[in-house]
Amino acid sequence: MKALYPGSFDPLTLGHLDLIKRGQGLFGHLIIAVLENPSKNATFTLPERMDQIREATCQISGIEVISFKGLTVECAKKHKVKFIIRGLRAMSDFEYELQIAHTNRSLNKDMETLFLATENQHSFLSSSLVKEVARYGGNVDHMVPKKIANDLYKAFNSDKN
């Protein structure tokens, strides 16, 4: 069985990586679908994000990294996936994620969303927060995989690496 884990992953955090490992453990095959959203001003290009994810997950079997545009349900349908994994950090995430899950289900009645609670030590992490810390020269080594930390330091001209 397989599941889809969609997101922009700009950048991939240790919270994302935790959900990837757990999602793969539940399903055996996890497709990490990296959203190509031209309206967002991403720090890393789509190919860079995909490479970062591939490197961070290279030791985990059953992982596939793809990109997509448009609706998540269409991506899932294209890859013959009926389960979408989404992470929850706090109650504030739940309301938004539930709305998205209901929308996806209204578009495809066969689609199920599985919510995974983020591990406590990662519950404060978001890609936006990580970029903000890196932008102002803070240490992000405990927030993202090492290669991604180095990429962030380079992107924001920090001397942390």
Identify the active-site residue in 2, 16, 86, 122. Answer: 16
89 is catalytic: yes
86 is catalytic: no
Identify the active-site residue in 40, 69, 102, 142. Answer: 40
State the Cα–Cα distance between residues 63 and 133, nearest whole angstrom. 29
For residue 73 the two structure tokens come to: 């349900």
State the Cα–Cα distance between residues 35 and 103, nearest whole angstrom. 17
Q: What is the DSSP letter of 30?
A: E
106 is catalytic: no
Identify the active-site residue in 49, 127, 131, 158. Answer: 127
- Buried b or exposed e, range 38-53, using 16+ CB within 10 angstroms: eeeebbbebebbbebb
3-state helix, strand, coil split of the chain in percent (to 5) is: 45, 20, 35
Identify the active-site residue in 21, 22, 89, 105. Answer: 89
Of the candidates 149, 147, 150, the one whose C-alpha atom is nearest the C-alpha of residue 55 is: 147
For residue 35 the two structure tokens come to: 């959203």
29 is catalytic: no
Residues recognised as catalytic: 16, 40, 89, 127
